[in-house]
Structure 1
Amino acid sequence: MLRGLLSVFLLLLSCGSLLAAEKPNFVWIMSEDNSSHFLSLFDSTGAQTPNIEALAQQGLIYEHAFSNAPVCSVARTTLITSCYAPRIGTFHHRRSFMVPMPEGVKMFPAYLRETGYYTTNNSKEDYNAKKSDDVWDDSSRKASWKNRAQGQPFFHVQTFTTTHESSLHFPVQDVQNKPTKTDPETVFVPPHHPKTETFKYTYARYHDRIQDVDQQIGELVDQLKQDGLLESTFIFYFGDHGGVLPRGKGYAYETGLHVPLVIRVPEKFRDQMPEKIGSRIQSFVSFVDFGPTVLNLAGAKIPDGIDGHAFLALGNAQLMEVDESFGYADRFDEKYDVVRTLRKGKYRYVRNFQPFNFDGLMNNYRYKMAAYQEWRELYDAGKLNEVQAQFFKTRPAEMLFDVEADPYETKNLADDPAHAKTLSVMRGALSIMLKGMPDLGFYPENYLAAHAADNPVAFGQQHKDEIAKLIETANLEVLSFDEARPRLEEALASSDPWQRYWGVIACTSHGKTASPLVKQLEAIATSDPENLVRVRAAEYLALHANVNPVAVLKKAIADAETATEANLILNTVVLLQDGQPGYEFNFQKSDFKHLKGDRGELNRRLEYLTEK
């Protein structure tokens, strides 16, 4: 009897081992800061990448893969949480405060560990949400699948920094003195960039970096092969967001969001895939979908409370296919913006909620790049054409691009009557989405830090109706002033400070056509009880009514309570100093000694303002 029970036990144990052995392994390979435009596999103007192309021949090529954010910490948080950052409070780059994961949701590798996977990350995390101890078995520069138990399935993330933005922080003298492997005369320079020697050299140098990372990828794949793991391992290769030439990283255009994605399917599982190996997949996928896809392939339960869905499965399962992707761009280092975008089919709709914050507004780290510096110098000298100069000018509140006909988004179709229906549909779809989340980006960062940091998702649900009303006020920007005026007047007189805040911003978006409200805005600038509302009113008056803002903004800094609040105010200061007509503020570092909290981004602004 005992012998019989032992036999059954051993049989069950062997079955369990067999099932474990049949689980696929996963390796994610991320190259930093490069969009699909830089690889010839996706764009004829890109660099040759033979190792990535070899993966594609044995897998699937995703023509429409998107990071949901154009910068690393927000994008990587979206990847690891499978949640949209504006919903869970993780949407500012270089966080000023950490937030918890949504209740009942874990970073997805924790679910893999629960089913027996060994999870490793080498080595960049850069999350804006608090990480628990159950996510990684090892997250370090030494992390590898090699340290797992014998036969244990694994999930490994490998980030290559070779293509990071910093690789283009070279002295301008390099253009003449340090040759590139890629001939600068052979590279494609998109129409929004000036075709100068500096830009051609910068593109060539970046093509070299793409080829270098391709070699590193080949070496990693060879290691899997040597370890006998290649044919049991799904390999995902993708960029961690778009990159990194000017108007790529940090900006919610195709160049900032459209990433290369190749998934090599191991031979052991190819007969279980409904997709044909080597095919180009047209369905849209976003970073929120990557975690659920791995869980699905691993046979693990996909949790409730996330925003993504699986796009690959073993067997004949018919998974949901979509043709749209949602994106967002907010504070990027010290530079603030509020941009939401929806790509649907061949169209990209971009909603600039603060369109007067022009794209080229100073950001210290961006302007370490010689190409950025030259672009700005050429603009100041009046040497750019209309398309190239747009980066330094006020944007429309709405932009609509046909990215198949206009891949670098230079022709805004929002005012074209032939596209009025498309514009209306996409405007409505985006608005419904923002209200439904709801999107926390309609509160200033310092307010969220003080009131929502402990549980942003719960805060959003509790204030869902208020957020919807803020979005409606912000959307007065897309109406004519005559249509919007009654509701603008109502917003400016509201008892809710954030209604007044967005009412003023909407006025600034309307520009001089909102001049009938100047007296109301003057009263707000001098006497509104909310500091940031006074700042926004002074911003309007400075830009559109020739009212000097220096006294209001200096008092606002004196009244600010935190470094985060002051940094938001300084965004307005830089806008008014560097834009037209230009004002002098002469701030000193001593003006900011009283401020509490994380001063990292504030110090970046002060470095620029006090040393300029």
Structure 2
Amino acid sequence: MLLLNKTFQFVAIFCTLFADLSRGLAAGEVNEIVSIKREGPNIVFLISEDNSKHFMKVFASGGVNSPHIQKMAANGLAYQHAFSNSPVCSVARSTLITGTLTTRTGMHLHRKIKVAPMPEGLEMFPAYLRKAGYYTTNNAKKDYNAEEGAGVWDASSNTASWKNRPEPGQPFFHQETFTESHESRLHFPEELMRTYQPKDHPDQVKLMPQFPDTPLFRFTTAYHRDKIREIDDWVGRKINELEQEGLLEDTFVFYFGDHGGVLPGSKGYLFETGLNVPLVVRIPENWKHLVPYNKGDRPEAFVSFIDFAPTVLHLAGLDIPEPMDGKPFLGNGLRRNRLESSDEAYGHADRFDEKYEMVRSVRQGKWKYIRSFQPFYPDGLQNNYRYKMLAFAEWKQLFENGELGAIQSAFFEPKPAERLYNLENDPFETNNLAADPQRKKVLVALREKLNNWLLDNNDLGFLPENVFVNEALHNPVAYGKGFHQDLKRIIEINDWALQAWNKVRGNLLKTLREGSALEKYWAYQVAATHGRNAKQDYAAFPDWKEEENAMVQLRAIELMGILEVENPIPSLMAWMQKEEDPVAILIGMNSLVYFNDHSKYKGLAVPDKLKLKNTNAEVKRRLDYLNGTW
């Protein structure tokens, strides 16, 4: 009898709920039904191309007023310390979509020569959302250096939208990119300066200290500020779409830049203007319990692109795959004090189109440490796409004319192997404190921190790209694990560049005689970093013509030119004409352009005599430049 009574009670409760539900439907209370059906919040990524935080009022004094983004911040969080791990698009986007450090997973070179496989046991993060019932859409840019695989997107196109999901109550992840702020928008003709009036008068804008004060740089800066306004208008439209559909308070909206830029010297470089992106996250009222902050807070926590995928999965209540490198900064169970203890961010830059240079950085709090492993290459080394921007070209011409001061000229000159900046006093990184005895403790600590990071993550950037493509690209993560012990030695050799020449010359010369090919390769780069200090011992160096490994030969030829022992250009051209691998040829072309533009051998290359066995798109760009047809 007791069981029967309980059954009747259950039926009565069910009928009452059904009646209430029916009345709600009759009254048009659709949003209540949607919330009942939800298993997680909606999540939207609004990504603008090529802009750092330095041009928005919400982040920087004197920045552009962006009312829609500022309103987002008032209803959410504005992160002062959000970083792309790489300052260029394909690498940054590969980091975002995989949640991995691309130097570990082989996606670190822009643009890819060949696509890298996804790490074993890992899919691009929207695939996990989709399996959990989310509708996943991308509109529309991808630009990944990894194999996408099936099942990532329900739709990816210029028309992809959450509006197309089959059921109104289905949770969604939507990613959309604003392209009108891209670098290419600053490839305008000179005529635009006469026909377009920026909202900010060019005479009134504040220039970065490394820029020459010219009408062109002022106009370019003012024009870029108008692009920030366009970003804000776009963000406002997207927020309004969500609000009009009654979805806004069930949706986390992330607005951020895909890396820094795009004024000269930002995109592609490990300065804060290349890495420190704007990030605002709007917190939906119905899911605010997932956030350990109050609306309007400005978290001090440092977050990087490796953290975005884990954060989205954690917000959705999903497990974070073990191969991901980042940690969530929003979601259930996180504590504010633990998040605020994060004050580090790492950066990496490698090949950027046809331009090679390996650079790594670490920021901790106010301190920024940059390590250049090929510091003899100037930042301004030719990259055809960069120099389509009139301001970039003018900057280079003014340098060649001798019309720039020391800070403005630094972009076109060799760099120290180590740089240390106090960003509180020097936000644009123009005053290197690495040689300051009072800062030695900070310098050494950050150097060791960076070295440990390189080793812990089996940094594949120490492999010449042709070696990487031919030997490691089939499974970069596994290769990196096997490379770990060798990498210890390679890092040790590179640290010889930071010591006095007379203390390391014996070890370096021994390595050049007895070391592995990769050890010799980097030993020559270290000698080149020491420059003229090494010249006194050049007679003790091995004869490069007797070296069997082609890449070691290349670095030996480069050293010969840097020390000005002999004109290296004929030897470089002969080396390239023997080489069959187009990736190796591209590395050689980098050296050739360096000597042709930035040495006493300037202008001596004879490109019409180069009869190459193989080329690729990047080699062709180098040839176009040398031939004056770019």
Shorter-chain TM-score: what band?
over 0.9
- SS of 1:382 mapped into structure 2: coil
Distance 2:199 2:126 in 1: 39
Q: Deviations over 1:3-24 (max 9, x none)?
A: x89989x999999986641510
1:358–1:395 contact (8 Å) kept in structure 2: yes
- SS of 2:481 mapped into structure 1: helix
Question: Pick from 464, 467, 476: which aligns with 1:444?
Answer: 464
- SS of 2:353 mapped into structure 1: coil
Q: Deviations over 1:421-459 (max 9, x none)?
A: 000000001001101111000010011110011100000
1:522–1:541 contact (8 Å) kept in structure 2: no
Which 5+ residue runs of structure 2 have no aligned equivalent? 22-31
Question: Within the alignment, does 1:366 sit opposite 2:395 as a pair?
Answer: no
1:77–1:127 contact (8 Å) kept in structure 2: yes
| 1:580-599 correspondence to structure 2 within 5 Å | 580-583=599-602, 584-588=604-608, 591-592=611-612, 594-595=613-614, 599=616
Shift in alpha-carbon separation, 1:589–1:78, aligned structure 2, 3 A: farther
Distance 1:84 1:462 in 2: 17
Show the counterpart of 1:264.
282
Show the counterpart of 2:270.
252
- SS of 1:588 mapped into structure 2: helix
Which 5+ residue runs of structure 1 have no aligned equivalent? none
Question: Pick from 468, 478, 495: which aligns with 2:498?
Answer: 478
Distance 2:197 2:33 in 1: 58
- SS of 2:533 mapped into structure 1: helix
Question: Within the alignment, does 1:171 sit opposite 2:203 as a pair?
Answer: no
Question: Pick from 128, 131, 134: which aligns with 1:111?
Answer: 128
Show the counterpart of 2:28.
none
Letter in 2 for 1:439: D
Q: Deviations over 1:25-60 (max 9, x none)?
A: 000000000000011111112211111111111000
How much does 1:271 deviate? 4.3
Question: Pick from 264, 285, 306: which aligns with 1:288?
Answer: 306
| 1:241-390 correspondence to structure 2 within 5 Å | 241-314=259-332, 317=335, 319-320=338-339, 321-390=341-410
Distance 2:296 2:154 in 1: 33
How much does 1:611 deviate? 2.0
Letter in 1 for 2:145: N
Show the counterpart of 2:553.
534
Distance 2:64 2:621 in 1: 34
Shift in alpha-carbon separation, 1:19–1:559, aligned structure 2, 3 A: farther
- SS of 2:523 mapped into structure 1: helix
Distance 1:560 1:52 in 2: 52
How much does 1:469 deviate? 1.0
Show the counterpart of 2:157.
140
Shift in alpha-carbon separation, 1:316–1:545, aligned structure 2, 3 A: closer
Shift in alpha-carbon separation, 1:46–1:205, aligned structure 2, 3 A: same
Letter in 1 for 2:533: T
Distance 1:495 1:7 in 2: 82
Q: Deviations over 1:380-422 (max 9, x none)?
A: 1111000000000000000000111100000000000110000
Distance 1:494 1:91 in 2: 30
- SS of 1:251 mapped into structure 2: coil
1:534–1:552 contact (8 Å) kept in structure 2: no
Question: Pick from 417, 430, 436: which aligns with 1:416?
Answer: 436
Show the counterpart of 1:496.
516
How much does 1:269 deviate? 1.7
Question: Within the alignment, does 1:234 sit opposite 2:252 as a pair?
Answer: yes
Distance 1:348 1:37 in 2: 17
Question: Within the alignment, does 1:463 sit opposite 2:483 as a pair?
Answer: yes
Q: Deviations over 1:571-608 (max 9, x none)?
A: 0001100012124121238612x216xx1111111110
Letter in 2 for 1:457: V
Shift in alpha-carbon separation, 1:82–1:16, aligned structure 2, 3 A: farther
1:89–1:456 contact (8 Å) kept in structure 2: yes
Distance 1:462 1:482 in 2: 33
Distance 1:514 1:144 in 2: 60
2:290–2:330 contact (8 Å) kept in structure 1: no
How much does 1:486 deviate? 2.0
Distance 1:527 1:229 in 2: 70
Shift in alpha-carbon separation, 1:510–1:276, aligned structure 2, 3 A: same
How much does 1:179 deviate? 2.1
Question: Within the alignment, does 1:565 sit opposite 2:584 as a pair?
Answer: yes
Question: Pick from 235, 248, 252: which aligns with 1:217?
Answer: 235
- SS of 2:531 mapped into structure 1: helix
Q: Give the TM-score taking structure 1 as reference length.
A: 0.95
Shift in alpha-carbon separation, 1:483–1:211, aligned structure 2, 3 A: same
Shift in alpha-carbon separation, 1:590–1:506, aligned structure 2, 3 A: closer
Distance 2:39 2:170 in 1: 10
Q: Give the TM-score taking structure 2 as reference length.
A: 0.93
Distance 1:96 1:111 in 2: 28
Letter in 1 for 2:496: L
Choose 493-502 or 440-449, whichever is displaced more. 493-502
Distance 2:478 2:86 in 1: 23
Q: Deviations over 1:338-369 (max 9, x none)?
A: 00000100011000000011100000000000
Letter in 1 for 2:378: F
How much does 1:175 deviate? 2.5
Distance 2:60 2:609 in 1: 47
| 1:92-131 correspondence to structure 2 within 5 Å | 92-131=109-148
- SS of 2:208 mapped into structure 1: coil
Distance 2:333 2:306 in 1: 22
Distance 1:522 1:47 in 2: 57
Identity %: 43
How much does 1:253 deviate? 0.6
RMSD: 2.3
Question: Within the alignment, does 1:74 sit opposite 2:94 as a pair?
Answer: no
Letter in 2 for 1:579: H
Distance 2:258 2:609 in 1: 36
Letter in 1 for 2:144: Y
Distance 2:66 2:385 in 1: 28
Question: Pick from 555, 570, 581: which aligns with 2:574?
Answer: 555
Distance 1:80 1:479 in 2: 40
Choose 67-76 or 219-228, whichever is displaced more. 219-228
Shift in alpha-carbon separation, 1:137–1:551, aligned structure 2, 3 A: same
Question: Pick from 390, 394, 399: which aligns with 2:419?
Answer: 399
- SS of 1:534 mapped into structure 2: helix
Distance 2:540 2:173 in 1: 59
How much does 1:315 deviate? 5.1
Show the counterpart of 2:563.
544
Distance 2:236 2:598 in 1: 47
* Count of residue pairs brought into register by the alignment: 606
Letter in 1 for 2:392: Y
1:353–1:397 contact (8 Å) kept in structure 2: yes
Look at both structures and tell me which one has the larger radius of gyration over its CA atoms: 2
Choose 461-470 or 75-84, whichever is displaced more. 461-470
Distance 2:107 2:256 in 1: 22
Distance 2:56 2:609 in 1: 45
Distance 2:344 2:241 in 1: 36
How much does 1:291 deviate? 0.6
Letter in 1 for 2:227: R
